[in-house]
Copies of this chain bind each other. A is one copy, B any other.
Amino acid sequence: MKLSELAQRIGARLRGDSSLDIESCATLDSAQPGQVAFVANRKYVRRIAGSGASAIIVSPKDAAELKADETVSLLIADDPYFAFREAVVALHGWREQPAPGVSRLAYIDDTAVVHELCTIRPFAYIAPRATIGRRCIIYPNCYVGKGVTLGDDCVLYPGVTIYDNCKLGDRVVLHAGCVIGADGYGYATHAKPGEEARHHKIPQAGIVEIEDDVEIGANAAVDRAALGVTRVGKGTKIDNLVTVGHGAGIGKHNLLVAHVGIAGSTTTGDYVTLGGQVGVAGHLHIGDGAQVAAQSGVTHDLAGGEQYGGAPAIPMRQARRTFIAQAKMPEMLTELRSLRRRIDEIEKKLDDG
């Protein structure tokens, strides 16, 4: 693709050689001639000189600071990272999916409804009264339970399981091994007369609803509600090996990074980000736009629009001061002993005096 065409496709202004051939995208450091890279962070601007890329996507501000006689062509975009994303779409495209059609090696119950242009591969299982929307792609070894509803253009990668009656919106993507709607972890511990105490299972009679444009990573699990609905809001992206507990309500456009665990009945606002391995206790609320650093433990409600860190999670500014003080603890201990000795001395001196 000519650089001029790429510029047009990604909505960038071109400064440089419009006739260059661009074949693919790369990171700034690994890029070779014929490749386009990007700089979204000011501190990488200086590395542009050493990059082998034919073209680099930069912000107008960074472009203004780069000399016109640079050997590299620039694609100038207000949001360089998004423009780079557009370049990856233009040059690499999306995964080539299998052609529409229902395999005769799949099992589809007679009462299931499969809408037009779906792809259903061998060893996929569609249970009674399930409904599969238009152009859905269901890979091998998937299980779509009784009464489950999929909207249009969903993709279930291999080995996905969706338990009975759960609902998916449009364009939902579930990666391999993802489990939607397994029973929530709900037990009433009770000793019946003459018996030892046992954890009596509470029927998990609710469902999971996953709204439009949600993507969920490999081997993640979203449990069904005991009563009502566990919800994952529109546009939310969930990474590998995340668990969402029963009755939780995840807002729109959240980012839940790998190994996050959210306990039952907790809700989040919109645009919430939870870093990797964050744990959130049950029955809490995290406000719109809150960002929680990796490995934090959330034990109480968090107000929106703020960054948090630590376990228990506290505002990031405070958490950072705690981290710094923590590193100084051993010397604080030493200092404390030294001060005590000095005070002992002084008191002795005063007593003697």
> Which residues from chain A sit less than 8 Å from chain B, CB to CB?
24-27, 30, 79, 81-82, 84-85, 88-89, 92-96, 105, 107, 121-123, 125, 139-141, 143, 146, 157-159, 161, 163-164, 175-177, 179, 182-183, 185, 187-190, 196-203, 205, 213, 215, 217-221, 223, 226-228, 235, 237, 239-241, 243, 245, 253, 255, 257-259, 261, 263, 271, 276-277, 279, 281, 294-295, 297, 311-312, 314, 318, 321-330, 332-333, 335-336, 339-340, 342-343, 346-347, 349-350
Contact = CB atoms under 8 A, between A and B. Distances in A.
A80 to B, nearest CB: 10
A295 B271 contact: no
A157 B161 contact: yes
A158 B177 contact: no
B198 A223 contact: no
Contact of A243 (B81, B85, B258, B261): B258
Contact of A325 (B164, B217, B329): B329
A334 to B, nearest CB: 9
11 contacts: A85-B200, A159-B177, A179-B219, A185-B258, A219-B221, A257-B263, A261-B277, A321-B330, A322-B326, A339-B340, A346-B346
Given A89-B203, A243-B240, A175 B185 contact: no
A332 B325 contact: yes
Contact of A258 (B24, B228, B261, B328): B261
B176 A179 contact: yes
A255 B327 CA distance: 28
B330 A200 contact: no
Contacts of A228: 26-27, 30
Question: Would you list the 4 A-B pairs with minimal beta carbon distance, nearest first?
Answer: A325-B329, A143-B158, A92-B205, A82-B190
A190 to B, nearest CB: 4
Contact of A79 (B190, B220, B279, B326): B190
Given A122-B125, A185-B257, A235 B333 contact: no
A146 to B, nearest CB: 8
A98 to B, nearest CB: 8
A27 B218 CA distance: 32
A281 B340 CA distance: 38
Contacts of A96: 146, 164
Contacts of A327: 314, 322
A267 to B, nearest CB: 12
Nearest to A311: B295
Nearest to A145: B158
A182 B203 contact: no
Contacts of A205: 25, 88, 92-93
A141 B157 contact: no
Given A227-B88, A343-B346, A185 B237 contact: yes
B188 A182 contact: no
B161 A177 contact: yes
